[in-house]
A and B are shown apart, each in its own frame.
Chain A
Amino acid sequence: IAGITQAPTSQILAAGRRMTLRCTQDMRHNAMYWYRQDLGLGLRLIHYSNTAGTTGKGEVPDGYSVSRANTDDFPLTLASAVPSQTSVYFCASSEGLAGNNEQFFGPGTRLTVL
């Protein structure tokens, strides 16, 4: 059972380049999320999707876009990367939204924008 996977594990990117971070889950979870984690700031929600075909903005959406064409995949795209987007990016999923539905996190992608 893979759970939730992310690719790449790490990436160094030149500023201005386009980059897509991939996220796939095999748990048939309805909801998926993208967070960034920066030292001293904790995890901050970028975008989320409550179900396939729908997406929403989180706390820090600017400079990022997402799509949810199917249940399993939730890619995050940086259209034109900037150094302030250097961070560790975590994808997460949950079976539902309410109750004790915990979020399961992927292993993360460490992105450096130079």
Chain B
Amino acid sequence: GQNIDQPTEMTATEGAIVQINCTYQTSGFNGLFWYQQHAGEAPTFLSYNVLDGLEEKGRFSSFLSRSKGYSYLLLKELQMKDSASYLCAVRDNDYKLSFGAGTTVTVRA
């Protein structure tokens, strides 16, 4: 099985940077995904990591360390529209995703 931990809530100021950490303990690993979910909406894909290192996509970056069972999502130049839940998900060797409970980020003016 998978055990995926991420903080419940984070608050940051518009224009700032926020880092959301995710740690996992798994029986198999075949990639890590980050999703964004606005309140009342469906999750949408943000990033994918399968090798160690940093993946950058515009204002969002995601990092993976497989040996440490650790990932983070970095959100730069925060905007009000970035207020949402951010879900860390690990894919196992059977290609099934297990999700963390999500981190709710609140961006304040």
Contacts and interface: CB of A to CB of B under 8 A. Distances in A.
Indicate, yes or no, whether A interacts with B. Answer: yes
Contact of B99 (A43, A50, A102): A43
Nearest to B42: A105
Size band of the interface chain A makes with B? 20 to 34
Contacts of A100: 31, 48, 50
Contacts of A43: 43, 87, 89, 97, 99
Given A43-B87, A58-B96, A102 B102 contact: no
B101 A42 contact: yes
Contacts of A102: 33, 45, 48
A105 B98 contact: no
A90 B43 contact: yes
A105 B50 CA distance: 21
Contact of B42 (A33, A40, A97, A107): A107
A108 to B, nearest CB: 6
Interface string B11-42: 00000000000000000001101000000011
Given A48-B96, A98-B30, A107 B101 contact: no
Contacts of A106: 42
Interface in B55-99: 87, 89, 95-99
Interface of A: 31, 33, 35, 40-45, 48, 50, 58-59, 90, 97-100, 102-108
